[in-house]
Chains A and B, each alone.
Chain A
């Protein structure tokens, strides 16, 4: 169980004023739940994910994981507790091969067959990719898929995917949706996906809508999703792919 208690996150803006990115956000994610966080760009979704992972420290509030207060734990400590985060814009590594990254993610050398399985699940023809470096020779979509595979190679308590659909073509997206569907009932205890895609939202048990750093609405998918399309002026952003 993951719980955010009254999380706020402020930064200093250029004119020395404080800018509130997250404003008193609280929610609970029980085990075996699939949560989709959605909302307009710049609303604070990624910041919440980064606060859960420990990449950003909240200005106030607590993060509780399986009964333990992890607010002051490092990224590494949280990762070891079973929290994982797939970046919206994953970094590239000169010299680091796909196989090595997947093995690092897994925590030990990963057999070729396993690597291939994870890569196939994200729509990459695996043999071609195993020994490729995660450098500029890969396209944005390829790096993104490898990032998703790197989370699949782990067994996590909470797996967070930050806009996994970004940069992924339509054909692969269908495959990705199937993968997330399978994942939601498999490898990881709980899954959080930050997404604008209606098809991903339809997989969710619960939805949270974040706008201007606050929770705009939350609840079971069937309650939140129908209202979502009429709630925002810029609703076209939520009209699926």
Chain B
């Protein structure tokens, strides 16, 4: 079934790579504060919460499902949508979950979505979680997204988390907390581009609690125009563990970027590394691409596209 609403379809395509309501897999599409379509499968059961807005997503042990979509779209100006989604991933399951929020605001009031996602990932389970944020619309009202994600990884569980905010979100405060048991592995890739007068803040705490756990956090951002960005990634090593935190930002125009990575070792067996760099686009890169026939702006786009890929 294809929705006739082109705005809705456009947003779904941007944030979840789907054109309307999917036929296969499990999904819950939330539009303007209410669920508009939902489907469970044999191994992925989606049920609405009874006490507050949001859903529970239960994945049965040892299930494999690469097709779970949980997008949220907001097309009403002035809407403030708060949602609580809990993911219970059974032992040994292997799933890909695509979430994300798209806001189309043509009005003058702010539209806001605050999503609180909690993951309880069972032993040996594997989760790939992709979250894309996007804003559009020619209204003067702000497009505000404040996602909170809490990831609890049981023994030897693996979580690969990819968050993307490329365009059109005026204000974003992202909070991420991860708790890792023994042998668990976490990979976080965060990509962010701000422009105009947008602000974005990302605060992340990774608690490595079990022996042999490891975390890799890669944050890449581009700040254009008068936008501002702040990053606080923190890795807390409480045992024999490994963590690598890397923040790279390209700064342009009159933008401002603060990057404050923190590593904290509470055990002599914790091996923690952080790197942070902020800089303009390298002139040699621009010249190189121009020698291949690209204009200055084409060269800039190729560099930024690659950097944020």
Contacts and interface: CB of A to CB of B under 8 A. Distances in A.
Contact of B292 (A95, A97, A154): A154
A104 B290 contact: no
Contacts of A232: none
B289 interface: yes
A172 to B, nearest CB: 22
B82 interface: no
B60 to A, nearest CB: 35
Interface centre among B288, B290, B306, B309 (most CB of A within 10 A): B288
B291 A95 contact: no
Interface stretch (A17-25, A34-42, A76-84, A114-122): A76-84
Nearest to B290: A75
A91 B290 CA distance: 13
Query: Size class of A's contact patch?
Result: 20 to 34
B292 to A, nearest CB: 5
A94 B291 CA distance: 19
B18 interface: no
Given A96-B302, A96-B306, A91 B284 contact: yes
Nearest to B299: A76
Q: Do most interface residues of chain B lie in helix, strand or loop, or is the interface mixed?
A: helix
A55 interface: yes
A85 B293 CA distance: 11
Interface centre among A76, A85, A107 (most CB of B within 10 A): A76
Contacts of A90: 288
A74 B303 CA distance: 20
B284 A104 contact: no
Query: Size class of B's contact patch?
Result: 20 to 34
A133 B284 CA distance: 17
Nearest to B250: A94
Contacts of A150: 292
A105 to B, nearest CB: 5
B178 to A, nearest CB: 24
Nearest to B305: A95
A93 interface: yes
24 contacts: A53-B291, A55-B291, A74-B290, A76-B293, A76-B295, A76-B296, A79-B292, A79-B293, A84-B292, A91-B285, A91-B288, A93-B307, A94-B248, A94-B307, A95-B220, A95-B305, A95-B307, A95-B308, A96-B306, A96-B307, A97-B306, A104-B292, A104-B294, A154-B292
Interface of A: 53, 55, 74-76, 79-80, 84-85, 87, 90-91, 93-97, 100, 104-105, 107, 133, 150, 154
